[in-house]
Amino acid sequence: MTPDESYLGRCPECGEDISEAWLLVKYTKDNGETGIWAECPNCEDVVAPE
Ligand SMILES: [Zn+2]
């Protein structure tokens, strides 16, 4: 498997793979990590990909 840089993670609700095309917001957490919110193409809900 080749790592895909446009892959954000999986939906915590349904496990669907979420690509960067669904990215809504990128922010920096208090601990310096980058956090993201994306829309799940399956749930049509806003989730934090895991
Ligand atoms: Zn989902």
Q: What is the pLDDT of residue 28?
A: 96
Range of the domain at 31: 22-50
**Regions of the chain with pLDDT less than 50:** none
Exposed/middle/buried for 50, CB within 10 Å: 0-12, 13-18, 19+? exposed
Q: What is the pLDDT of residue 38?
A: 97
How many A from CA of 25 to the centre of ligand 1? Answer: 17
Exposed/middle/buried for 41, CB within 10 Å: 0-12, 13-18, 19+? middle
Q: What is the pLDDT of residue 4?
A: 57
Q: What is the pLDDT of residue 11?
A: 97
Q: What is the pLDDT of residue 5?
A: 65
Q: Evaluate whether residue 2 is within a structural domain.
A: no
How many A from CA of 22 to the centre of ligand 1? Answer: 11
Question: How many structural domains comprise the chain?
Answer: 1
Q: Evaluate whether residue 15 is within a structural domain.
A: no
